[in-house]
Amino acid sequence: MYGALWRVLPGPVWVRILLVLILLVAVVFVLFTWVFPWVDAIINPIEVTVDT
């Protein structure tokens, strides 16, 4: 899969590396902004307190 992504990206190697980094940052941003809060609302973990 990574090889196919690498072949699809245009430009020389430094442009491909920059595009991969931008895509990676975009995926992490989407996960933290929308996906993780949505999953947290569905899972609804039990609040646990630890007495010391």
pLDDT digits (tens, 9 = 90+) for 9-40: 999 999 999 999 999 999 999 999 999 999 88
Q: Given a cut of 80, is residue 50 above it in pLDDT? A: no
DSSP 3-state of 17: helix
Tally Cβ neighbours within 10 Å of residue 28.
10
pLDDT at residue 30 in the model: 97
Q: Is 11 left (phi over 0), alpha (psi -120 to 50) or beta?
A: left
